[in-house]
Structure 1
Amino acid sequence: MHKLLSLLKNKYFLSTTAFLVWMLFFDRNDLLSQYEYRSQLQKLEQEKQFYNQEIAKVQKDLDELTTNKDKLEKFAREHYLMKRDNEDVFVIIEEERKEEQKSLF
């Protein structure tokens, strides 16, 4: 008990303890903030990885479209509904089917 009392009277111990408490709980960069910053950094790194993968996919598709005319024609037909002069294009919208199915139930 005497050692604990003398330890609490020690000004170096008190100042070190006060400094640690301040840095861990009351400072602008306390433990909770550091945890939040770290989790935000992990989310941003995951987003960066996702977007890098998407960029690689798009770059690959672009290379294929610029080098292969068959792929370019297929892409134009699927995405821009382009057609040849002697063809007809039928567009099927799946959302209407879903709405019809909902109304049946």
Structure 2
Amino acid sequence: MKLDKNKVFSFIRNRISVGKLFLAIFIIFIIFIDENSCIQRIKYDAEINDLRKQIAAQNDTTEYYNRRIEELKTDKNIIEQVAREQYLMSKPNEDIYLIENKK
């Protein structure tokens, strides 16, 4: 049951033309091997979308802090609120009571 190499090659030559063979090799090269392959482009597109989402999140954060800065520059009540809540400052003759949550 030994196959003759010449018979196998002649069978392949009769069934598949040279043009089809080159076309198949070219398609495989384009899809899998090339540095600009379809698979690589899909990965790049996914990475670009992730980076765009990160940029949008950072822009939202920047806008929030810019608004917060403007509020702190203009509104004295907000400055007092921040001083009391974050830095535990108080007015003279005022007592502060801290309530801690038990978890």
When normalised by structure 2's length, the TM-score is 0.71
Give the counterpart of 1:48 among 55, 66, 69.
55
The gaps in structure 1 that reach 5 residues or longer are 99-105
Could you tell me which residue of structure 2 aligns to residue 103 of structure 1?
none
The gaps in structure 2 that reach 5 residues or longer are 1-12
Q: Give the letter for the 2:18 counterpart.
A: N
Partners of 1:38 and 1:65 in 2: how far apart?
Answer: 41
Identity of aligned residues (%): 26
Report the secondary structure of 1:90's partner residue: coil
Larger Rg: 2
Q: Give the letter for the 1:43 counterpart.
A: D
Could you tell me which residue of structure 2 aligns to residue 101 of structure 1?
none
Change (3 A) 1:91 1:32: farther
Partners of 2:15 and 2:91 in 1: how far apart?
Answer: 91
Give the counterpart of 1:21 among 24, 28, 34.
28
Paired residues in the alignment total: 91
Could you tell me which residue of structure 1 aligns to residue 7 of structure 2?
none
Q: Which structure dedicates a bigger proportion of its chain to helix? A: 1
Residue 60 of structure 1 pairs with residue 67 of structure 2? yes
Partners of 2:14 and 2:63 in 1: how far apart?
Answer: 66
Partners of 2:70 and 2:47 in 1: how far apart?
Answer: 34
Q: Give the letter for the 2:47 counterpart.
A: Q
Give the counterpart of 1:69 among 70, 73, 76.
76
Q: Give the letter for the 2:59 counterpart.
A: N
Range moving further from structure 2, 79-88 or 55-64: 79-88
Runs of 4+ in 1 over 4 A off after TM superposition: none
Partners of 1:92 and 1:40 in 2: how far apart?
Answer: 46
C-alpha deviation, 1:58, in angstroms: 0.9
Change (3 A) 1:42 1:19: same
1:67-96 CA distance string (max 9 Å, x none): 1111111112122222222222223333xx
